[in-house]
Structure 1
Amino acid sequence: MKLSGLVRDGVVVPVPVDPSGRSGPTRRQAAGEEWRRTSKGRYVPAYVDPALPAQRIVEAAVLLPGHGAVTGWAGLHWAGGRWFDGLGPDGRTALPVPLALGRNRVVRPRPGLALSEEWLDPAEVVRIDGLPATAHARSVCFEVRRARSLAQAVTAVDMAAFSDLASIEEIRRHAQRHLQGRPHVSRIARALDLADENAWSPREVSMRLAWSREHPRPLCNVPIFAPDGSHLLTPDLFDPDHGVIGEYDGLVHVGNGRLVRDLEREELARDLGLELVTMVAADNTDQRAFLSRLAAAYRRADGRRSRGSWTLDQPGWWIDTSTVERRRALSEAQRARWLPRQVARP
């Protein structure tokens, strides 16, 4: 596929050999150290980092037929999905770039690619900065159907919603209209039942799923207010019926005031009659310790919560951003004020 119209800072489109050396390397230059071969007959300058997600996507996309598109994590990353970095759950292993080819095998299997030959409606392909990608809901469904666990599938849905690329309802409609009878489609319904449009990170999703196995499903990032309408805190997770809040903390707290803020948060929770339980990075590999702390928090909270000191009723000045639909309705100025988490780097 020709990507001559692609416009995206930081990426370089592979080019074929050019005997004149104007639009690409000469054959002799291509054989040297200043150029890197990306695929048969395609090259980029050697300084171009092949590990960058966007660059990997472009190098794969040049192999697409005219009717094809990138999909899955690649389509979501290219569309601005903050948490779709093309890495596996370990944060190191590079995932293959998924390509939707339609029903004609025109690209040979090769390392670094995940090929899909399912029927592809041209109406499901959008161009973003010159690169063809499948509609966001289809890209999410691709990720969910290929997920190795239910937790990974739910994370894909939640993080697509985090970046406002697809709502739970949009994903559900796509699956019902286009994927009936396809392999692994039942995974989509299971993932959507557990999904939440207001999760802010993959680790929060992991904590919520662990929490929900043994206790009532908590609310995600719900703001808690004082009776006078002032904002008190917005915990990662909250069970308002039992008075237990949860926070994920993957940082080592030394210096820079971080420890002080954590202690202040714990003190505020106690003043409100709430129990705070924290999940740390070490809990990701073995969640038993976290579940033990969570059970202890529920026991301590039982029968001693004071609801009069806080409320979930939102005051008039507060703007609710808990769903994809509400976030999409915000003005640019409102987004800058109320959604700083979406522009901050992960």
Structure 2
Amino acid sequence: MPHSPRVPRELRHRPFRGSAAIRAGLLSRSMLRSSCWRRLLRDVYAHRDMPLDHRALCRAAVLVLPEGAAIGGLSAAFLWGFEFRTDRVSVVVPRDLGIRLDHRLSVQYTTIAGGDRTIHDGMPVTTPERTAFDLGRRLPRSDALPLLDAMLHRHVLRRDVLHAMTLERRAWPGSTGLLDLLALADPRAESPMESRLRLMIADARLPPPVPQFEIRLPSGRLLARADLAWPESGVIAEYDGDHHRDPAQFRRDVARLNAIRMAGWTVLRFTADDVLRAPQHIVVTVSAALAEAADRRSPARQHFIQETW
């Protein structure tokens, strides 16, 4: 009866260098070639039963990084707590060093200052500010602003440090655009779609809305919080995600929006399809609502109403 392969406890739950395991006497070369182990990178292996999520792949990548390199880009953002769909591990490597290329790695050769990297969860990772500096310059603006908003909202990112870093490296590609985005970034934002919606409004040169505005009754009681609001105009814009399709949630939404309208607010509602496929529709709708509100509040209109009645 064949024996089950021996699995050293030290190697069961983390990626490891095959050559190091052989030198330590934990495995032999023939044992390493068995189906018990799977190869992740050159000379990097993991037990076949170990969950292979992106964090595990980052740990595998760290084993082949040269001194001074770090997990960076989207993978660093992931390790700092932000979900991104990426199949490859993003790493940043000093320009004067090299790393063996692999289909699981996305390598960026760059200048890495001493304060650009730190140890996080046992791994060398670009700091939140360097991570935001890299992604804020490289991602599309519609992805970069939601990331900046989220990092500020969760108190991961120091705005003043990122601003200073960007000014010091103003000659780097994309730095001017990042400064513009950083001026728009708002820690009050609570969802990526809300951030995208706010970016569209800013790009259209419309008056900036207040994120997560609290609508209160004359008594001071909180009636609701609006995703985006123009308090002087009495207009709010709401993003309705898929969870609003739930019947119970839909009933709560109806009651909430009726209460907001009864309090005198104009309510605009937008969906993912609007944000992703019909931005011009959003701009036109918001612009018309603000213009109508301004017309209602104009002294001439108020005088006309008083004279009529």
TM-score normalized by the length of structure 1: 0.73
Residue matched to 2:170: 180
CA distance in 2 between partners of 1:205 and 1:76 (Å): 17
Task: Map 1:259-274; keep pairs closer than 5 Å.
Answer: 259-274=250-265
Deviations 1:276-335 (A, max 9, x none): 111212222333443444345435544557xxxxxxxxxxxxxxxxxxxxxxxxxxxxxx
CA distance in 1 between partners of 2:183 and 2:23 (Å): 58
SS in 2 for 1:44: strand
Task: Map 1:79-98; keep pairs closer than 5 Å.
Answer: 79=80, 81=81, 84-87=82-85, 94=86, 96-98=88-90
SS in 2 for 1:165: coil
Name which of 255, 263, 266 aligns with 1:275.
Answer: 266
Q: Flag as ranges the 4+ runs of structure 1 deviating above 6 A.
A: none
Change (3 A) 1:49 1:289: farther
Deviations 1:165-209 (A, max 9, x none): 1133221012123x2322222221121122212111111111111
Partner letter of residue 167 of structure 2? Q
Change (3 A) 1:188 1:116: same
Name which of 214, 218, 222 aligns with 1:223.
Answer: 214
Residue matched to 2:156: 165
Deviates more, 1:27-36 or 1:286-295: 286-295
Residue matched to 1:16: 18
Contact 1:158 1:199 in 2 (8 A): yes
CA distance in 2 between partners of 1:291 and 1:228 (Å): 34
Following superposition, the deviation at residue 132 of structure 1 comes to: 1.1
SS in 2 for 1:223: strand
> Greater strand percent: which structure?
2
CA distance in 2 between partners of 1:59 and 1:67 (Å): 16
Contact 2:40 2:46 in 1 (8 A): yes
Change (3 A) 1:259 1:188: same
Task: Map 1:137-156; keep pairs closer than 5 Å.
Answer: 137-147=129-139, 149-156=140-147
Contact 1:162 1:197 in 2 (8 A): yes
Residue matched to 1:67: 68
Partner letter of residue 14 of structure 1? F
Partner letter of residue 17 of structure 2? V
Residue matched to 1:130: 122
Residue matched to 2:282: 290
CA distance in 2 between partners of 1:153 and 1:32 (Å): 44
Partner letter of residue 163 of structure 2? R
Deviations 1:244-289 (A, max 9, x none): 1111112164554111111012112211211111121222233344
Change (3 A) 1:119 1:299: closer
Aligned-pair identity (%) = 23
Is 1:211 equivalent to 2:201 in the alignment?
A: yes
Partner letter of residue 32 of structure 2? A
Following superposition, the deviation at residue 47 of structure 1 comes to: 2.8
CA distance in 2 between partners of 1:254 and 1:68 (Å): 46
> Greater helix percent: which structure?
2
Contact 1:38 1:59 in 2 (8 A): yes
Is 1:189 equivalent to 2:187 in the alignment?
A: no
Deviations 1:113-145 (A, max 9, x none): 332332222333211221111221111001112
Change (3 A) 1:151 1:126: same
Partner letter of residue 65 of structure 1? P
Contact 1:53 1:86 in 2 (8 A): no
Residue matched to 1:53: 54
Change (3 A) 1:250 1:268: same
* Structure showing greater relative contact order (alpha-carbon pairs closer than 8 Å, 6 or more residues apart): 1
Contact 2:117 2:127 in 1 (8 A): yes
Residue matched to 2:6: none
Q: Report the aligned-residue RMSD.
A: 2.5
Contact 2:188 2:211 in 1 (8 A): yes
SS in 1 for 2:56: helix
In structure 1, the gaps of 5 or more residues are: 1-10, 88-93, 306-346
Contact 2:149 2:185 in 1 (8 A): yes
